[in-house]
Structure 1
Amino acid sequence: MQKVAIIYQSRTPPPINGIIKPMKPGGYSDSGADIAYSLKKQNIEVITPTINPQIDHDLDWVFPDTKEGIQLATAKGANIIWLNTVLYKNHPIEEFIHLGISVVGQIPENVDLYDDKWITNELLKSNGLPIPKSVMMDQKNKNDFDLNFSFPVVAKPIRGRGSQGVSLVQNEYELRDVLNEMFHSNTYGESLYVEEFLSGQEVTVTIMPPGKYFINKENIIKNNYWSLPAVKRFNHENGIAPYNGKVAITNNSEVLQDSELQSLTIQQLNTACEKAARLVESKAPIRIDCRANFVGKYFLFDLNMKPNMTGASRPHRTDQDSLTALAARKIGWNFDDLILNMLNNSWCLNND
């Protein structure tokens, strides 16, 4: 019998090679509670820290992602741990995975590696996928750089989270100011990422892993990675999609029209994103942000191993569907359907 506990991010991950990934306020406890409540509504046994979790109190529904938090969840009977947290090498969950616990989520070591935009985009580029031109910046070259692409450019963290810390920069003077400010704050660590700005349409593609799914009242086996319908982003602020902590996704995003979804351009983009998911050995949904240049050619610019999984499962959060939840609705899944299909593709070392 499935007994599920959801863990959330209780602390900032350790710096990796001097690069910091900032922590989301609340550590994804909001989406963790959305997931837990959705499962409970569907008669899945959900293990929670409190006996009677309150519907609007996020921390009643989720366990911290510490060794002690996971031990408490398993002691209370959980046999599946939902990894609604930022993972990294030597994360406490690794010990439990090696002991045979089932999980929903990614391989921690893979997240550690592919959360680095530079490493990931170099991997994708070396495998023939379209990636924007870019350069890494550190304290040594922040004032003496040689870009192989023209302004405007985008400056961003190497281990970022959504659009937090992302800036559109118009010239080298602005770039020096932005880099100095980001380095001075030390929010993102010792290295930053600068890439060419793409002026065309932005879309987000969610890629699901191979597995068993229930779609249109049928059980379907997907032998390969597959894409949910692409979601268009609009109402950008200074060329950048606003952080969803400030603007609800439902206010600036919508699934592409059928004619565009069926276009060769988007079909080719889906194929590229599915190849990217295969390269990073994704075990759960990932999200890839893509943008077209001025002639309409799409590039993959941000592969997110842990897409935010908020959803409209609780009455006070009806506007909180994530990009993945929006895409899922196009194939007939509401948030509950999406979550149940994710649960049904949990994995463990013993059966993988």
Structure 2
Amino acid sequence: MTAATPKLVSVIVPCRNERGHIAAFCASARAQQLPPPWTLELLIADGQSDDGTREELQRLATADAHIRVIDNPGRIVSCGLNRALAAARGEIIVRMDVHTTYAPDYVAQCVAALQRSGAAVVGGPWRAEGAAPWQRAIAAAFQSRWVSGGARSRQLDYEGEADTVYLGAWPRESFARFGGFDEQLVRNQDDEHNLRITRGGGRVWQSARIRSLYRPRGSVRALFRQWLQYGYWKPFVMRKHGQPAALRQLVPGLFVGGQLLLTGAALLGASWVLPLGWLAAYGAALGTLSLLVAADGHWALLPRLPVVIAAHHVGYGIGTLLGWWDVLRHGRGRERFSKLTR
């Protein structure tokens, strides 16, 4: 990273093939309201887009000197973040995502939370909202503390220490102390970095005043692929640190693994009572979770919720098992799990 410029915030953004969204995102990021004497630079690491995104970025950067386009030959998020970090000049680094909408004071609240908490990284809660029915069901399940296992990053009113936060904002010295993002990870690079911070004696802090709105996937198929990929890369994080960031991350893999073992035993001659009972227990839990989510003002979405919740859990569980298989077999990730899922 270059020498820091005082009172400058560097916003870093990885992207690839976002032609339809990038102009609106840049306008939103440049509209951030910062108290003087703070100023903002926007660094967008393009992963060799081939849909016209790069040309649009060059046009935007020509019109606005505060926007800089960084080449990301590695294409994946962690490589893009590190490339942008290397070029960043700010004393505070804020990560943004193209598919998220931000409150006008988002960056200002990140700066305030860092100053107030003294943490190594701060962030806001991960708030999701959908438009079409399936996307609304996905957002409702995503937001539920019951489906997420009580993750604090989904609690919109929580202020305090957490195991991870959405996106993140860091004082520049955090990267000097804890390093950048692991470029071996296609997913979960933020969780791994936060785990590295907490294991190294730093604090992760969530502030409810840091407000943003995430647009989730719009179909069950895309949701399943997303969580399959999240689950797949989680064992690579666990192998690196010898522990999960949170015990809730183990549950989907244990469920799917248990179902496979019991079903395999039944196919070899054991009783079918256990695998069918295991599946029935999950079905009952799925129904209960769906009712709990629906009771939070989402009754119209109830028919869709069991499908959405199952796609979330089963995708993550299968991905976790495949990830552990590759970790134990040769320690390398598969190419098919390195592709973006949007």
Q: TM-score, normalised by structure 2?
A: 0.27
Q: TM-score, normalised by structure 1?
A: 0.27
Larger helix share, 1 or 2: 2
Larger strand share, 1 or 2: 1
